[in-house]
Amino acid sequence: MISGKFAITIHILTLLTKFPDEFLSSEFIAGSVNLHPVLVRKEIANLKKNNIVESKEGKNGGTKLLKSASDISLDTIFKMTFDTVTLGFSKNEPNPKCPVGKKINKNLEDLYENINEKISLQLSGITLENFSNQF
């Protein structure tokens, strides 16, 4: 389910921020991201589910922001598009008969949870407006 989700979503939102009064079509957005319009619409579906944007079907349809870019933090976008940041897990279940194998995933999860807290804290201090102003 799309590993560039965050990047694509923030790209979409930056475009919407630059044209706050227009409904941008998925094809227009896809042209900027360089991605298939269907995938853009999938990410937009996610944004809609989270009440960040609204979209209008039919001719001259498209998508626009539902709220001000200054009211959307990057942490919100992060949480919408990422379960959690991890440094990964081994694919197979480690050996539960080994004291290390038995606990490794729990201990890694704890570590990763701390990392996520730090990232969230950092991202909640940046708004979509801040990010968009860099362009």
Q: Which residues bind DNA (CB under 7 A)?
A: 1-5, 24-27, 35-39, 41-42, 44-45, 48, 55-63, 88, 90-92
- Is residue 6 within 8 A of residue 83, CB to CB? The reply is no
Bridge partners of 127? 73
98 interface partner picked from a copy of itself, DNA, none, CB below 5 to 8 A per type: a copy of itself
Burial of residue 62 (number of CB atoms within 10 Å: 0-12, 13-18, 19+): buried
The secondary structure of 75-104 as a DSSP string is HHHHHHH-S---S---SSPP-TTSHHHHHH
| Closest separation in Å from C-beta 127 to a copy of itself | 13
Q: Which residue in the block uniquely carries the two structure tokens 């890694």?
A: 108
Residues that bind a copy of itself (CB under 8 A): 3-8, 10-11, 14-15, 18, 31-35, 74, 78, 81-82, 85, 87-95, 98-101, 103-104, 107-108, 111, 114-115, 118-119, 122, 126, 131, 134-135
| Closest separation in Å from C-beta 130 to DNA | 25
- CA 129-122-135 angle, to 5 degrees, is 30
Give the nearer residue to a copy of itself in terms of CB position, either 10 or 66: 10
| Closest separation in Å from C-beta 47 to a copy of itself | 16
Give the nearer residue to a copy of itself in terms of CB position, either 57 or 135: 135
Q: Which residue in the block uniquely carries the two structure tokens 């998508």?
A: 63
